[in-house]
Amino acid sequence: MNEIRKIFWISLVVKLAIGGLLPLTGDEAYYWVWSRHLQLSYYDHPPFVAWLYWLGGPLDFLPGSVRWAGILFGHVSLALWLRLLDPFLSVPQLKMWLWLALLSPLLGGSGIVVTPDLPLMLFYALSLWLFFLWQKKPTWQMSLAFGVAVGLGLSSKYMMVLFPLSLFPVILMAKKVRQAFFKNLHWLILGGVAGFMPVLLWNLMHDWASFKFQAAHGLGRKWKPNWTIEYILAQIGLIFPPVLFWALNAGKRLPLVFHFLAWTPLVFFAFTTSRGYVEANWPIAAYPAIFALAVSWYPANGRSLRFTAGLWGTILATLFTILIMRPAWTKEHKFREFYQFGAVEEVGRDLYPLYARSYQMAAKMSFDLKRPIYKLRGMNRKDFFDFLEESQPKDKIYYVAVEKTDTLPVIYSTHEVIDIISVDEIYEIRKMRMP
Residue 328 lies in a domain: no
User: Among residues 260, 288, 319, which one ends one of the domains?
Assistant: 319
**Residue 413: φ, ψ to 5°:** -65, -25
326 inside domain: no
| Triad 49, 288, 189: Cα angle to 5° | 60
> CA–CA separation, 45 vs 52, rounded Å?
14
pLDDT at 218: 57
Check if the beta carbon of residue 190 is closer than 8 Å to that of residue 144: yes
Letter string b/e over residues 257-290, b meaning 16 or more CB atoms within 10 A of that residue's CB: bbbbbbbbbbebbbebbeebbbebbbbbbbbbbb
Gap between the Cα atoms of 82 and 125, Å rounded: 10
Q: Which residue has the higher pLDDT, 2 or 41?
A: 41
Of the given ranges (56-65, 202-211, 339-348), which has the lowest mean pLDDT? 56-65
- Could you tell me if 289 and 357 lie in one domain? no
Is the residue at 332 inside a domain?
Answer: no
Per-residue DSSP letters for 136-150?
H---HHHHHHHHHHH
CB proximity list for 381: less than 8 A, separation 6 or greater:
none
The rounded Cα 323 to chain-centroid distance in angstroms is: 19
Which amino acid appears at position 335 of this protein? F
Q: Is residue 330 part of a domain?
A: no
Strand order across the beta sheet in which 354-356 lies: 374-375, 354-356, 397-403, 427-433, 416-422
- The number of domains in the chain is 2
Q: What is the pTM of this model?
A: 0.93
309 and 355, same domain (yes or no):
no
pLDDT band at 216 (very low <50, low <70, confident <90, very high): confident
In terms of residue numbers, what domain contains 185?
2-319
User: How much is the CA Rg of the chain, to the nearest whole Å?
Assistant: 23
Q: Binning pLDDT at 50, 70 and 90, where does residue 296 land?
A: very high
Give the CA-trace dihedral at 375, 379, 380, 385, to 10 degrees.
40
pLDDT at 406: 95
Please tell me the least confidently modeled range out of 58-67, 302-311, 324-333. 324-333
Stretch among 98-107, 231-240, 250-259, 331-340 having the lowest mean pLDDT: 331-340
Q: What percent of the chain has pLDDT over 70?
A: 97
Task: Please report which confidence band the pLDDT of residue 217 belongs to, taking 50, 70 and 90 as the band edges.
Answer: low
The answer to whether residues 119 and 183 belong to one domain is yes
Residues 357 and 305 in one domain: no
Q: What is the pLDDT, as a whole number, of residue 330?
A: 60
